Every structure is written in structure tokens, then in C-alpha cells.
Structure 1
Amino acid sequence: MSENGTSADHSSVSMGHTELSKVSRTGFLSIVVPCYNEEEGLAELIRRACDAGRSVFEDRFELVLIDDGSGDATWPMIEDASAGNDHIVGVKLARNYGHQIALTAGLASCQGSYVLVLDADLQDPPELLGDMLSVLKENKADVVYGQRDSRAGESGFKKLTATGFYRLLKANSSVDIPLDAGDFRLMTGRAARIIVEMPEHDRFVRGMVASIGLKQVPFAYHRDARFAGETKYPIRKMLSLAVAAFMGFSMAPVRIAARLATLMFFFSGFAAVVAVIIWMTTSTVPGWTSLMVLVAISSAMNFMILAILGEYIGRIFMSQKRRPLYIVETVKQARSSENPQVLRRIGGGVFLGDHPEDL
């Protein structure tokens, strides 16, 4: 059960019998899905996402699929799907930029007055769209974020580390980042545009959404197991995301470094006083052991502090280069009208245009 009493079990949602109250008569929906090596589950993703969009918004929706430099058949499948379906927009990035930047490219490419963010693995059921839209309208909110009541198909280690990460981040951030919430959310177009215009390169989108304010409402749901294939978020990527979250939304690492430095200052001062007392009261020359331990501890602390500060300085350096956040290689859609949101520099990204061989 969520804070506002909203909960959902998508197994009870029937796409063929959507309640009339959940059918939107106005507005345009964009479903944004970053994809990386998702050939095994892509057809099912397209089917379920389009069914969900059609059940609530009828023909007023688009499915924006962002290929984040996949090495399998993901992009050819997106091309084929977009050629035969007016609702599908395919966006191919020039290389693999990572999930958070690919998601930003998708938000920049969409046109909807409502935006539903999904992962391609279908762990977050698109069938909850109608319920989430009802909650958004009832609360006059700008964001309805999915809050995981339970998680199927994930190891105990991942659940434990995810639980600890969200609570540690919340305790050390000035931004109220919701617990147990990923990128699965429904938001208004104006909220999505704010995220796109944020200039930072090291992006933690769920934290960025929380930082914009506006009214944001939780929506409790059960997270399914992955539909097909293997996770695209190994430990290395999860650690990278965690570092981006702490560096972007918490001063805790710098404050820890300052506290360590203060602690080392007092510890070194105490050791110096003890050494003087020993020298004055005894004729014993202090041994090398205590000296080396002190040097080792102080050196380790210094290196740790330098590493933390260096991480912040490195991120500042990369941001000041002002390189494009991403490069869109091509856009595929069956509609005759071009998407004006894509065909210009947006959200820190650049659209390349047609290759000479394609003209």
C-alpha cells in the first residue's frame, strides 16, 4: 500500500476491458523505452506497450524506442516495427551511452502531454498505465512514480543492496528521493521537459525527477521477473549508478572526507603529545612499529580524501567540456511529419541527420 493508499496488481488488469473512467479523452501519450540488446523480448514489449497505450489513449499515443548502441538485432527490429506501425518512433544513438542518458534522449524525443517511462525488460508492467493516469488526475499531480512492494526474479543480494542504497541515499541527500522507486513513472510533458533541460552529464534520472518539486505521488505495485534475456545492469553498472547518485545528490562523500581529515588531525596531535611525553620521561627510543602504523593510517586517509575530491573535480572537468550529452544517429518513424523535438539540438544532444548514402 502506498502513501496515498494506491496499490496495484497488474495481473488483475484486463486490457480488453479497460474501465471507461481510465480511458483518456484528451491528451497525447509518449511511452519512452531505452533498449540495449533486447532482441529476445522486444516483440512482446512492443505488443504490450502499444496495447496499453491504445487501451487508454486510443490512437493518441507514440512508443519511443531508443537503441542505446545495441550489438544484436534490436535496431533492425525497431526499424521494421516503426515501418509498419505509425505509433512507433525509433531513435538510434551513435554509440552506447548508458541507460540514464538513453532515457534522457527518449524524453527529449517525445511529444506527449503525458510520458510513461518503461524499462525494456517488462519488469514494470505497462498495463498499469490506466491506474497510474487515474491517480495522476485525481491528485492533480505532475509525477506518479512506481514504488515496488515486491520484486520477483531478483537475488537476495540485489534486493538487500538496493534496499540499503535507497535508504542510505535518502538519509544523506537534501532532495527527498523516494524509497524503492526506479525509473518506472508517469509524468506530465512539462515535468519531462524540465528533466531534458537539466545540463548535467552524470545523470541519475529518478533523483533529477524528485529534485524538480511539483506534486509527486507514489503508486505501489508488484515488480515482475524479467520477461526474457539477462539483466543489462551487472554489479559494475549498479555501482556506477550508485556513485552518480551520491555524487549528484549528496555532499556526504566530501563531508566524510572532511571528518576523516579532522579525525586524523586529532589522532596525529595525540600521537605527537604521547611521543613527546615518552621522550621526556624515558630514555627508551620509540620503536618503528608505532611510527609506521601512524604513517600508514595517515597516508591511507590522505589517499581516500584525495580520491573523493578527485572524483568531484573529474566530474566538473567533464561537464565543462560541454560535449554533447548524446548523439542521435538516425530516427525512424512511419509518419510523414518529422518529429520537431528530435531534429535539433535538444537536452544536450545532437541529431546527425541522414547519412549521404541514405539520401
Structure 2
Amino acid sequence: MYAITVAEPGGIEQIEWAPVPTPEPGPGEVLVRTQAVGVNRGDVLQRQGHYPPPKGVTDVMGLEGLGVIAELGEQVTGHEVGEQVLALLTGGAYAEYFVVAAEHLLSVPDGIDPIEAAGLVEVSATVVSNFDRVGLKAGETVLIHGGAGGVGSFAIQYAKAIGARVITTASKKKADYCIELGADKVIDYASDWEPAVMVATADRGVDVILDIIGAKYLEANVRCLATEGRMVTIGMQKGVKGTLNLGVLLNKRGTITATSLRGRPSDQRAAICRRVEEVVWPMLANGTIKPGNQTRVPLEEAARAHELLESGENTGKIILVAKYN
């Protein structure tokens, strides 16, 4: 088979569409013929050498995919060859075939274009698991950084669906898109966004922060928390080491947590898949949540997809589409 490979960590010039051995499913796994792949920031970080796959996982990028089951491994029940499935992966989807644990498969949501759905698995799993972790609930105010991106686009809609008030940061030119998704307030991230958050909350602060930025925003984020506010960091786009006034956090009785979906144990990832099917798929089926903007690029042109993602010009998700679709 062919797959997207990376000769060595670096820029998009390291990306190649090259022949590699076709993987074989082990016990409890299935082999899937790829139809579409969602592109994620983690893919870019892996290509650059900053986000290596877990031990024993393929070096081929790709954390979510859509395809048709081509082969069942031993001990797999409840699935059949020819079945179209979605998958949450630790790697491997940037290829003509990928292997995934059967417990990490998801059904395609009713009424949703399957290729669109390929870009919803990772964001759904990320947002739902992290809002569950910090206990976001109806009536609370959440600050979502990067509202026009793949995670942000979904997080805005999901937070509104569960009854939260949403403040988000985004560029000026993407503000209207965030409003269309349901954001109550959009703040230009290039401006002094911290006082704008406090003005928008009448100096109370926000109950929850979903942060993709990391170190650069750490202190400002904590200052923006309401009393007993909770922040969950899921990305480190602007640094991994920051300083923090613990007195501010203590006085707010605040909580800071951080998670990585890729590194979670298999049983936790399986539970998240079931949670997504239970909670998110019905919202997609009835139109409460929409897939948002998506840009499609041929699978073998993954370098172009990475270039687009890194440019910051894209809104929503980028989908790699196999040529036989």
C-alpha cells in the first residue's frame, strides 16, 4: 500500500507519498481501507518532531479516519467486512489502509455525509471528554480559545447545546464565523483579550476555559477564571513552560488540569468513543450541531493540507480524501 511518510522531522518538504507494508490486524483489531482522514494539529506537531507516537504505534500520521473494514482480526465480534466505520486512532490513518482496535470504532452519524464525519471524531472526543472532565454545565460561561479552528468550531456548538454561554478568541476576519456557530462574544486574539473577557463577564470571570495555547496564556487565563473556575489545557501552540502566581489560583479556589487524548489507555479511549456516540451523534442527526466548515484535499497531497493548517487561513477542519472515493 501507499502512505504518507516523513523522511525526517521538519517542514512539509519532508512529506512523501511512498510504498510501505500493509499492516495486519492483531487480536481485537480490524484492518480498514481508508476513505477519508481528518487533519489535526497533532499531525503537524508529529511531523515537526514535537509529538511522537506512543511506543509501539506506527510512525504514519493520522488520528481519525473513515473507511470500510477489509479484514477482521481474531476475537472481533459485532463487525463485518465491508462495513463503513469511523475510527479514533493513535496513528496510521494517512495511508491506504490502517489498523485500529475494534473498540475504538464508531458508527457514522445518521444523516451526516460520511466524509464530513471523518473530521468529527477527534474534535468530538476531545471536547466532550474535556468538558466532562471540568464539569461544564448549563448556565456557566466558558472561554474557548481558537474558536474558528477544528476543535473550537465544535466546542462552541457543543457548549451552546448544553446551555453554556460562550466567549471565544479568534481573528477579526473569523469573528462572523464564530458568531454563526453560536458564540455569544468573540474577542480578537491579537488585541488585549484578557480585559475584554473581564468586561464581558462584568469582572466575574469565566467558569471554564478550554485552552489550546499553553504557556503564553497561562497567567492571563488564571486571572480570567471566576471563583472556583476550572481550566483544561489541551494544546501547547505557544509554549510548554510558563510562570504562575499560585496566590491568584489559590484565592480563586481554581483548578488547572491538562489532558492528551492520544496517550490515554485503550479502555478510556473506548469509553470516550461510546460517550461520543451517545451524546454527540444524536445532536448531529437532529441538526443541533453541524459539521462546520471543511476543506477537502486529496490524501496523497497531505503536504498541502499541512501548509493550509499552518497558515492560519483555514476555518474548521481539513479532510484528506482517498482517490477512490
Which of 1 and 2 has higher RCO (CA within 8 Å, sep 6+)? Answer: 1
Higher strand share: 2
Larger radius of gyration: 1
What TM-score comes out, normalization by structure 1 length?
Answer: 0.27
Higher helix share: 1
What TM-score comes out, normalization by structure 2 length?
Answer: 0.29
